[in-house]
């Protein structure tokens, strides 16, 4: 396996982007003990303190058009849920598109970024941040009520190495299933773990706010929301409030 294990980096995404650009093969993984400027979605920061979590980026090179890239986020979310289930015996929930929650608090974030031209993906960089061994006091005040860790939920310290091993195995299996059978089997798995489907929610997108009921996801992994006029909106990227 092509695994790069680093002590301290600014962001594993940045390193993976460079490796992808230089031609690193599909399946290349960058893991860091600590990130000094971990990145989240929507230009946010991702708190990545030393040796407490899994801070990891994976390079994939699926032969799909750019609009299907959200599917890879959902594949990754299912892999993370399955890995957490296997390691802890607890079942997290997925909040579209990429948040993984336990007891309503965020335990994992996924950030999918592309290197693509107009009609072809050259590489896809999937960043995964899993809070593993943080305790509540380790979190800055503004995160205390929205973030949790596997250790807080399980009540014991957990092995990050075991989690990484299980997760890479699940990701590989699901990715193969996807290349083989398409997105549909993944979509069913994803929906079985999703909290938002069938519920009323608010989606804040860059172009405006949509209130309505989440109907499900399309075959491309795009969220469908029906507003009170019965109009169905396709949402590619948003912040969801339940
Ligand atoms: C989010 O929920 O906003 C996504 C968070 C993604 C965090 C991971 S940690 C590993 C990788 N490197 C980064 O800088 N970000 C992602």
Question: What percent helix, strand, coil does the chain show, rounded to 5?
Answer: 35, 35, 30
Nearest CA to ligand 1 atom 15: 39
- Residue 242 Cα to ligand 1 midpoint, Å, equals 22
Q: State whether the beta carbon of 35 lies less than 6 angstroms from ligand 1.
A: yes
Peptide bond between residue 145 and the one before it cis (omega within 30 degrees of 0): no
The token pair at 145 is 């009520």
Q: What digits encode the pLDDT tens for the residues 143-184? A: 999 999 999 999 999 999 999 999 999 999 999 999 999 999
For ligand 1, is residue 53 a contact (CB within 6 Å)? no
Task: Map out the domains of the chain as residue ranges.
Answer: 3-193, 200-241
- Is residue 111 within 8 Å of residue 39, measured between CB atoms? yes
Q: What's domain 200-241's architecture?
A: Roll (2.30)
Q: Which residues are annotated as a binding site for biotin?
A: 35, 39-41, 106
Shared fold status for 3-193 and 200-241: no
- Tell me: ipTM over 0.90: yes
Per-residue confidence band for 118, with pLDDT thresholds at 50, 70 and 90:
confident
The rounded distance, in Å, linking the Cα atoms of 223 and 174 is 21
Q: What is the rounded CA–CA span in Å between residue 134 and residue 147? A: 10
Which residue stretches of the chain are H helix? 12-21, 70-88, 141-144, 150-154, 160-181, 184-193
Q: Is the CB of 221 under 6 A from ligand 1?
A: no
The answer on pLDDT for 1 being more than 70 is no
Q: What's the CATH number for 3-193?
A: 3.30.930.10
For 176-227, the pLDDT digits (tens) are 999 999 999 999 999 999 988 899 999 999 899 999 999 999 988 899 999 9
Using the atom order of ligand 1, give the atom closest to the CA of residue 39: 14
CB crowding 20-41: b at 16 or more within 10 Å, else e: beeebeebbbbbbbbbeebbbb
Any atom of ligand 1 within 6 Å of the Cβ of 127: yes
Query: How far, CA to CA in Å, does 228 sit from each of 27, 212, 218, 223, 236?
Result: 44, 6, 20, 16, 20
- The pLDDT > 70 percentage for the chain reads 100
Best residue for ligand 1 mutational test, from 95, 97, 129, 163 (most atoms within 8 Å of Cβ): 129
């Amino acid at each position: 396996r092509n695994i790069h294990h680093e002590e301290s980096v600014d962001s594993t995404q940045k390193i993976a982007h460079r490796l992808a650009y230089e031609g690193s093969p599909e399946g290349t993984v960058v893991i860091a003990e600590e990130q000094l400027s971990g990145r989240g979605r929507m230009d946010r920061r991702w708190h990545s303190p030393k040796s407490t979590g899994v801070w990891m980026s994976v390079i994939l090179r699926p032969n799909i058009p750019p609009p299907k890239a959200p599917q890879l986020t959902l594949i990754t979310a299912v892999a993370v849920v399955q890995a957490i289930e296997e390691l802890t015996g607890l079942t997290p929930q997925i909040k579209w598109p990429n948040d993984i929650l336990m007891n309503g608090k965020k335990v994992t974030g996924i950030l999918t970024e592309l290197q693509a031209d107009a009609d072809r993906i050259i590489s896809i960089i999937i960043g995964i941040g899993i809070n593993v061994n943080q305790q509540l006091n380790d979190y800055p005040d503004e995160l205390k009520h929205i973030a949790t860790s596997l250790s807080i939920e399980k009540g014991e310290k957990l092995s990050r190495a075991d989690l990484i091993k299980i997760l890479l195995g699940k990701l590989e299996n699901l990715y193969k299933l996807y290349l083989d059978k398409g997105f549909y089997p993944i979509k069913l798995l994803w929906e079985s773990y999703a909290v938002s489907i069938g519920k009323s929610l608010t989606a804040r997108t860059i172009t405006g706010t949509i209130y309505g009921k989440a109907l499900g996801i399309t075959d491309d992994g795009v969220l469908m929301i029906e507003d009170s006029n019965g109009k169905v909106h396709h949402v590619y990227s948003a912040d969801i409030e339940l």
